[in-house]
Amino acid sequence: MLKGFYFLFSQVTKKVMGRDNSTSGGGFILVGFSEQPGLERILFVFILIFYLLTLMGNVTIILVSRLDPHLHTPMYFFLTHLSFIDLTFVTCISPQMLFNLRGPDKSISFVGCVVQLLITLGLGGTECVLLAMMAYDRYVAVCQPLHYFTLMPPQLSWALAGIFWFLGFSNSLVHTPITMTLPRCEHHRINHFYCETPPVMELACVDTTNYKKEIMILSSLFLVFPLSLILVSYGRIARSVLRIKTSGGRQKALGTCGSHLTVVSIYYSTLIYVYVIPKAKLSHDGMKFVALLYSLIPALMNPIIYTLRNRSVKDAIRNLLMQKAKTEK
């Protein structure tokens, strides 16, 4: 891995300095939906709207969580990280997609492809682990409410944040050098709309069977272990909720978890559909369209879910707007 990372670093350095004359580190063509120009124009408007709404929603969540003192809790601390991940993910891929959709130029530089692959891989793994830690936070809030701030002190929240960022990008730092340094024999047309591991690997002119197995194993770990922790946490939450005798108490407990559970359901259902369930009947364009929805919808839905279903966030937004109106008067 170190040898691959050194080679990748040397290729990036040559590209940045403009001193690369080899084809191994050359740029790529993102095929995307170029075979359907009419669809490209529709997708340009669709992606632009989704991107702007995603930026607005996630920036709002981050600002409100930081500006309102009542939201300085572990739950909203993790929520700001989730919003930052979604914001960074769509910003990493959407501008390049919009650029490629607006005209005949479908190119992306070698450096740009490395950055996309490194960041999207890292953020994907980070979000999987983050959602599991958010489930643990909800478990403590529902099952141990009197000891919540003792069991979830700020120091622990920062430590958990360090863990999920470290795990996510450790995985990315392993796979990105290997993927980008595979011999491509001058193949440079990526049948996708951004640089992702499977379509980039299709350019390789060597046997990648063993590497694909390693990716599958590591990806399964990032999928199975966090999902298992989420299921265990919510299993215990459900048991505690069933013990609550009053309907008001049950609704309050479910309200505490409803937003996160909805986000988890959307994220993992799309993730499993895209990467786990066999889709032999789908064409390449069909697969790309499914991947497009997976890339855009969760990042847009997360802030909507947390604002529409969460009374604390709605109250915080309302209070901040009222304070702003008073200061303007």
Alpha helices in the chain (DSSP H): 2-17, 37-67, 74-101, 110-143, 148-151, 154-180, 197-201, 209-243, 247-275, 284-308, 311-328
Decide if 64 is inside a domain: yes
298's CB contacts (< 8 A; 6+ apart) are 86, 263, 266, 267, 270
Q: What is the pLDDT of residue 17?
A: 42
Distance (Å, whole) CA 310 – CA 259: 7
Q: ∠ CA 72-91-106 to the nearest 5 degrees?
A: 170
Q: pLDDT tens string for the chain (329 positions)?
A: 445 444 454 555 444 444 443 334 468 999 888 777 788 888 899 999 999 999 999 998 998 888 888 888 898 899 999 999 999 999 999 999 998 888 888 889 999 999 999 999 999 999 999 999 999 998 998 888 888 889 999 999 999 999 999 999 998 998 899 898 888 888 888 888 889 888 888 888 888 888 888 887 877 788 888 989 999 998 988 888 877 777 766 776 666 677 888 888 888 887 777 666 655 555 666 677 778 888 888 888 888 887 766 677 777 777 777 776 666 65
Decide if 262 is inside a domain: yes
Decide if 240 is inside a domain: yes
What is the domain count for the chain?
1
Q: What is the pLDDT of residue 26?
A: 66
Q: What is the pLDDT of residue 68?
A: 82
Decide if 118 is inside a domain: yes
Burial 149-186 (b: 16+ CB within 10 A, else e): eebbeeeebeebbeebbebbbebbebbbbbbbbbebee
Decide if 18 is inside a domain: no
User: Which CATH number does the domain housing residue 300 bear?
Assistant: 1.20.1070.10
Q: What is the pLDDT of residue 155?
A: 93
Q: What is the pLDDT of residue 315?
A: 73
- The whole domain housing 279 covers 28-306
Decide if 53 is inside a domain: yes
Decide if 314 is inside a domain: no
Q: Encoding tokens for residue 269?
A: 């259902």
Decide if 212 is inside a domain: yes
The pTM for the full model equals: 0.85
